[in-house]
């Protein structure tokens, strides 16, 4: 995802009590997959913690040390500050400076987003980390809380001060980092990097990334940050996190994304330039960035930074081990800033009112099966007896709860221009006895992710995702025209291109070379004319097969989409009313309470007149 060539994976927990989607990135496919799985394991552990036994007691009764640490001690703006009179549950933690026991509020450690937090608490996953050893887990956890403090400090600086921290990326003498930067540039993305840990005991970087050339959907810039005592590791983390943030916007599946995240991209790009004076290369050389001193642990360097910034200690709580080789910890630095709390200006999380579950209405006799589709179907396609709607975005399936249709089919959805269909939307329909079928495009992905929950997959593309033979989300993505032009496809989906390569007769070596070109081309640009032109440039001779020949091969996406249309009417009345409803998390509650009253007649398209499906 994201068009950057950086391996990024997502792990899906549909029944999650926090975020359903966890993401991971890495320099290799294996590293990215493991990263996503570990984040999912961390959140699963944190949202399923059992409350400690004992009564709720206020902070003021725990002694002066605890009172100083959590309330009265000097702390930076945006740091944790608890009400000493508020009764709460406490768990045992430990002070990383001296190893002594330290109480930690259970509401900070537990990330169950279905529960109402206390007025002065905003639970966050910042500082939650996994490692093969306790020290490895603590190093990752403390690095994250230190990183957030440094990012908050950077955000508070004047543009001229930020400019002094901007790194001259050409001065970075590291082949791996330069390869990554070159890859971003070759994909049409601009990169700016700031060394935000200057003058401290750690290396930390802030990286921003935005599409500078090529077909653009006016996406906003994305940012990543990284912190470590080794400057090389810190910069790689920042670059990879920015790449993951780009993929996050493209996929649109995370529960905490909102429509405003996709708006005003061009204006945000200009604001970024003005706020940082990053009109050209940075003035800070790589040689001027402090590196890790030999003979000292990375954790010690991170703790030195924290102690230099605040007299309040860094404390941690250990979670139950999901496996003997995995340790999960949650670190807190009460004296340091956290970006999310600064955004809230130190205010508590707004009170959340429980949302009454929509009543199951009696289905009207005239209500038709609903199918969300666009470019995967033939132009001008009509389906008598089916309510055919535009490619789905977040909330479209949730709106069906008001009048339950006899069945729902999900074929196409929007990528890159809006948050896409959430897993809990589908789970809620399934729990109310509505059969939900998916295939051909986004529907095939969701069906593979939710097959165990009762969603039905249709077609070969679904089988590919369910079996693992197809792993790329962007394998079904294309550029297409808006509804006014019949969703005409402007590019070729990877699944269709791969299928066509094996149905057209051509020399084996030529097929292999063209396959590499097809796989590395972005879905924004993948056309047979472009791929064959690149093949000719690489080989120095004309291809033996024309673009017209490839264009005559039937589309696999279209075949699966038509198969779903045929199946959805037959699925009416075959739902399972015994399935449980999904957890009502804070993000899901927010989405349900902000749904429009009526579905839009025409899906909004992006700045260049195309959307993704």
R_g over Cα of the chain = 26
Residue-wise pLDDT tens digits, 249-287:
888 899 988 888 887 777 777 777 777 787 788 999 999
Answer with the one of 518, 537, 552 that is the final residue of a domain: 552
**Closest to 355 in 3D by CA, of 74, 581, 50:** 581
Tokens read off for 20: 């359903």
Give the Cα-Cα-Cα angle 115, 116, 117 (nearest 5 degrees).
110
**Tell me, what's the pLDDT at 551?**
93
Residues 380 and 478 both lie in one domain: yes
Residues 538 and 581 both lie in one domain: no
- Residue 431 included in any domain: yes
Average of per-residue pLDDT across 105-111 = 96
Task: Give 471-489 as a DSSP string.
Answer: --GGGG--EE--GGGTT-B
- Residue 544 included in any domain: yes
- Residue 605 included in any domain: no
Residues 502 and 449 both lie in one domain: no
**Closest to 592 in 3D by CA, of 355, 390, 371:** 355
Whole-angstrom CA distances from 104 to 62, 66, 118, 159, 199 are 11, 9, 14, 38, 31
Collapse the DSSP code of 150 into the 3-class scheme (helix H, G, I; strand E, B; otherwise coil) and give the result. helix
Residues 305 and 446 both lie in one domain: no
Average of per-residue pLDDT across 336-345 = 64
CATH code of the domain containing 289: 3.30.160.660
Which class for 85: exposed (0-12), middle (13-18), buried (19 or more C-beta within 10 A)? Answer: exposed
Residues 411 and 540 both lie in one domain: no
Q: Are 134 and 121 in contact (CB under 8 A)?
A: no
Residue-wise pLDDT tens digits, 295-323:
678 899 999 999 999 999 999 999 999 99
* Cα–Cα distance measured from residue 294 to residue 298, given in angstroms and rounded to the nearest whole number: 10
Q: Is the pLDDT of residue 171 over 60?
A: yes
What order of strands is seen across the sheet that includes strand 101-105? Answer: 101-105, 90-95, 315-318, 327-332, 128-131
Residues 223 and 295 both lie in one domain: yes
Residues 142 and 259 both lie in one domain: yes
Residues 413 and 474 both lie in one domain: yes
Which residue's structure tokens are 């993951």? 244
**Tell me, what's the pLDDT at 88?**
96
Residue-wise pLDDT tens digits, 227-256:
998 999 999 999 999 999 999 988 889 998
- Residue 11 included in any domain: no
Q: Are 444 and 476 in contact (CB under 8 A)?
A: yes
Q: Are 422 and 258 in contact (CB under 8 A)?
A: no
Average of per-residue pLDDT across 331-354 = 63
- Position 598 confidence tier, pLDDT thresholds 50, 70, 90: low
What's the DSSP call for residue 68? I
Collapse the DSSP code of 138 into the 3-class scheme (helix H, G, I; strand E, B; otherwise coil) and give the result. helix
Listed in order, strand segments (DSSP E) in 7-142 are: 8-12, 21-25, 90-95, 101-105, 128-131
Q: Is the pLDDT of residue 612 over 60?
A: no
Q: Is the pLDDT of residue 359 over 60?
A: no
Residues 193 and 304 both lie in one domain: yes
**Closest to 587 in 3D by CA, of 395, 357, 339:** 395
Q: Is the pLDDT of residue 356 over 70?
A: no
Residues 267 and 381 both lie in one domain: no
- Position 153 confidence tier, pLDDT thresholds 50, 70, 90: very high
Tokens read off for 264: 């005003």
* Cα–Cα distance measured from residue 196 to residue 174, given in angstroms and rounded to the nearest whole number: 19
What's the DSSP call for residue 323? B
**Closest to 111 in 3D by CA, of 367, 330, 282, 324:** 330
- Residue 414 included in any domain: yes
- Position 206 confidence tier, pLDDT thresholds 50, 70, 90: very high
* Cα–Cα distance measured from residue 282 to residue 334, given in angstroms and rounded to the nearest whole number: 33
What's the DSSP call for residue 71? I
Average pLDDT value for the chain: 88
**Tell me, what's the pLDDT at 297?**
87
Residue-wise pLDDT tens digits, 207-222:
999 887 655 556 788 8
**Cα 250 versus chain centre, distance:** 9
Residues 380 and 461 both lie in one domain: yes
Q: Taking each helix axis as running N to C, give the angle between helix 298-309 and helix 134-155, from 0 to 180 degrees, rounded to the nearest 10.
A: 40
Q: Is the pLDDT of residue 361 over 80?
A: no
* Cα–Cα distance measured from residue 477 to residue 119, given in angstroms and rounded to the nearest whole number: 43
Least confident of 55-64, 152-161, 347-356, 574-583: 347-356
Q: Is the pLDDT of residue 349 over 60?
A: no
* Cα–Cα distance measured from residue 576 to residue 435, given in angstroms and rounded to the nearest whole number: 8
Domain count, the chain: 3
- Residue 408 included in any domain: yes
Q: Are 315 and 87 in contact (CB under 8 A)?
A: no
The pTM of the full predicted model, rounded to 2 decimals, is 0.89
Q: Is the pLDDT of residue 47 over 70?
A: yes
Residues 511 and 394 both lie in one domain: no
Average of per-residue pLDDT across 66-77 = 90
Instruction: Please state whether beta strands 479-480 and 611-612 pair in parallel, antiparallel, or not at all (unpaired).
Output: antiparallel
**Tell me, what's the pLDDT at 604?**
35
**Closest to 411 in 3D by CA, of 397, 430, 427, 431:** 397
Residues belonging to the chain: 613
Range of the domain at 382: 370-482+559-594
Q: Taking each helix axis as running N to C, give the angle between helix 460-467 and helix 556-570, from 0 to 180 degrees, rounded to the nearest 10.
A: 100
Q: What does the CA dihedral 273, 278, 279, 284 come to, rounded to 10 degrees?
A: 180
């Amino acid at each position: 995802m994201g068009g950057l060539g950086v391996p990024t994976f997502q792990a899906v927990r549909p029944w999650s009590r926090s975020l359903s989607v966890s993401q991971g990135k890495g320099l290799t496919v294996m590293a990215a997959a493991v990263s996503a799985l570990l984040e999912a394991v961390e959140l699963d552990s944190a949202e399923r913690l059992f409350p400690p036994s004992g009564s709720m007691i206020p902070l003021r009764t725990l002694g002066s040390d605890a009172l100083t640490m959590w309330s009265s001690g000097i702390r930076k703006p945006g740091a944790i500050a608890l009400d000493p009179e508020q009764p709460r549950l406490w768990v045992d933690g430990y002070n990383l400076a001296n190893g002594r026991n330290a109480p930690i509020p259970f509401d900070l450690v537990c990330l169950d987003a279905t529960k109402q937090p206390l007025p002065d608490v905003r639970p966050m996953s910042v500082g939650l980390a996994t490692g093969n050893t306790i020290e490895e887990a603590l190093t990752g956890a403390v690095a994250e809380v230190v990183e957030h403090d440094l990012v908050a400090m950077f955000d508070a600086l004047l543009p001229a001060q930020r400019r002094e921290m901007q790194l001259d990326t050409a001065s970075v003498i590291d082949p791996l980092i330069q390869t990554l930067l070159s890859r971003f540039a070759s994909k049409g993305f601009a990169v700016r990097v700031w060394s935000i840990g200057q003058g401290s005991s750690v290396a930390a970087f802030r990286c921003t990334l935005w599409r500078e050339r090529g077909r653009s959907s006016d996406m906003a810039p994305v940012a990543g940050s990284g912190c470590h005592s080794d400057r090389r590791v810190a910069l790689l983390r920042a670059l990879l996190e920015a790449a993951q943030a780009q993929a996050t916007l493209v996929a649109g599946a995370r529960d905490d994304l909102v429509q405003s995240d996709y708006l005003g991209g061009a204006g945000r790009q200009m604001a970024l330039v003005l706020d940082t004076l990053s009109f050209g290369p940075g003035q800070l050389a790589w040689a001027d960035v402090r590196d890790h001193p030999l003979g000292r642990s990375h954790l010690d360097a991170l703790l030195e930074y924290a102690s230099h910034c605040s007299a309040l200690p860094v404390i941690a709580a250990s979670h139950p081990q999901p496996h003997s080789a995995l340790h999960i910890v949650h670190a807190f630095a009460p004296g340091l800033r956290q970006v999310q709390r600064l955004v809230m200006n130190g205010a508590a999380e707004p009170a959340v009112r429980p949302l009454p579950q929509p009543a199951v209405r009696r289905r009207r006799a005239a209500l038709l099966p609903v199918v969300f589709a666009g470019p995967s179907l033939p132009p001008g396609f009509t389906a008598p007896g089916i309510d055919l709607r535009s490619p789905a975005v977040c909330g479209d399936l949730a709106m069906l709860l008001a009048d339950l249709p006899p069945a729902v089919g999900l074929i196409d959805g929007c990528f890159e221009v809006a948050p896409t269909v959430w897993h809990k939307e589908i789970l809620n329909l399934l729990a109310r006895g509505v059969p939900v079928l998916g295939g051909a495009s986004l529907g095939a992905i969701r069906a593979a992710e939710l097959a165990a929950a009762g969603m039905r997959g249709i077609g070969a593309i679904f089988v590919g995702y369910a079996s693992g033979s197809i792993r790329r989300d962007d394998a079904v993505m294309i550029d297409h025209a808006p509804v006014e032009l019949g969703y005409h496809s402007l590019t070729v989906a990877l699944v269709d291109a791969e299928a066509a390569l094996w149905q057209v007769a051509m020399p084996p070596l030529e097929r292999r070379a063209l396959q590499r070109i097809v796989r590395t081309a972005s879905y924004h640009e993948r056309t047979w004319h472009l791929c064959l032109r690149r093949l000719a440039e690489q080989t120095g001779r004309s291809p033996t097969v024309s673009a017209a020949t490839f264009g005559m091969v039937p589309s696999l996406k279209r075949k699966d989409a038509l198969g779903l249309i045929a199946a959805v009417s037959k699925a009416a009345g075959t739902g399972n009313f015994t399935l449980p409803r999904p957890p009502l998390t804070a993000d899901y509650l927010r989405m349900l309470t902000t749904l429009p009253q009526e579905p839009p007649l025409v899906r909004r398209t992006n700045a260049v007149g195309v959307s993704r499906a």
